[in-house]
């Protein structure tokens, strides 16, 4: 959270980012223009450009805000100190909950990449960074589930996650979640059943 010289969070900036986050996620990055964000956040263009030098940087800030929320969610699950398998179940459950929520519109990161396919673009880079964190986190947890190497399982988990996130608003969310959670359970069971006693 950016603070000004006096340690306060700028109210206007906060409102801008919240509004942009909502609109970008609901309607798309290119589909929402600066005018719209400014009007709905009730700030001026000067204020917007004071805080975000360009639209691209606002988009990156949006993705970083979503990433931060994701990381906090996972940190909460980790802090519960459950066994790794249960932590993974909690993470998966949280993903499923998001899919079933009323405002679900897919994965902000996958959606962003669809609109910014150039790998060198800062938006695309922000997505890659967040995904690297997620894969690593999941893989580390899976290392504590069974004793096989965790890399394939980690990728498998992420594959299921990506599939569920990308299709959750293109099919019945309940079915997508069910399929996803069963897939995760299959991964966990497979690893636990393969444990060398």
Size of the site for DNA (CB under 7 A): 25
From the CB of 31, what's the least distance to DNA, in Å?
7
Look at residues 45, 133, 41 and name the one whose alpha carbon lies nearest to residue 91: 133
Q: How far is the CB of 153 from DNA (least distance, A)?
A: 41
What's the closest the beta carbon of residue 138 comes to its own copies, in angstroms?
13
Helix ranges, the chain (H): 11-27, 34-41, 45-51, 55-79, 84-100, 108-115, 122-143, 151-167, 173-193
Answer whether 130's CB lies under 8 Å from 67's CB: yes
C-alpha 68/C-alpha 181 separation (Å) is 24
37 and 23 in contact (C-beta within 8 Å)? yes
Judged by CB under 7 A, the stretch of 34-42, 65-73, 146-154, 174-182 that binds DNA is 34-42
Rule CB under 7 A: which of 42-61 touch DNA? 42-47, 49-51, 53-56
Decide which of DNA, its own copies, none touches 135; Cβ closer than 5 to 8 Å per partner kind: its own copies
With beta carbons less than 8 A apart as the criterion, state whether 87 and 139 touch. no
Distance CA 75, CA 81 (A): 10
Look-up: residue for tokens 């006693």?
Answer: 197
Q: Is 12 in the site for DNA (CB under 7 A)?
A: yes
CB 64 → DNA: shortest distance, Å? Answer: 17
114 contacts DNA (rule: CB under 7 A): no
When the beta carbons of 30 and 100 are compared against DNA, the nearer one is 30
Instruction: Kindly tell me which of 38 and 173 has the beta carbon lying closer to its own copies.
Output: 173
Min dist CB 177 to DNA, Å, is 34
Which is closer to its own copies, CB of 2 or CB of 192?
192
Task: Kindly state whether residue 118 participates in binding DNA, applying the rule CB under 7 A.
Answer: no
d(CA 179, CA 44): 45
Residues near DNA (CB under 7 A): 4-6, 10-13, 30, 33-36, 42-47, 49-51, 53-56
């Amino acid at each position: 959270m950016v603070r000004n010289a006096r340690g306060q969070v700028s109210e206007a900036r906060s409102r801008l980012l919240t509004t942009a986050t909502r609109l970008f996620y609901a309607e798309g990055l290119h589909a929402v223009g600066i005018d719209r964000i400014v009007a709905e956040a009730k700030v001026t263009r000067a204020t917007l450009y004071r805080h975000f030098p360009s639209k691209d940087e606002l988009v990156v800030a949006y993705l970083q805000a979503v990433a931060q929320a994701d990381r906090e969610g996972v940190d909460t699950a980790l802090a519960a100190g459950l066994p790794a398998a249960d932590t993974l179940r909690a993470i998966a459950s949280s993903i499923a909950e998001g899919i079933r929520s009323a405002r679900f519109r897919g994965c902000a990161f996958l959606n962003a990449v669809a609109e910014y396919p150039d790998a060198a673009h800062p938006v695309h880079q922000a997505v890659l960074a967040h995904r690297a964190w997620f894969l690593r986190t999941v893989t580390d947890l899976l290392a504590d589930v069974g004793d096989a190497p965790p890399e394939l399982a980690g990728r498998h988990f992420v594959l299921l996650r990506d599939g569920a996130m990308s299709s959750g608003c293109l099919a019945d969310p309940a079915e997508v979640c069910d399929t996803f959670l069963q897939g995760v359970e299959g991964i966990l069971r497979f690893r636990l059943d393969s444990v060398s006693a």
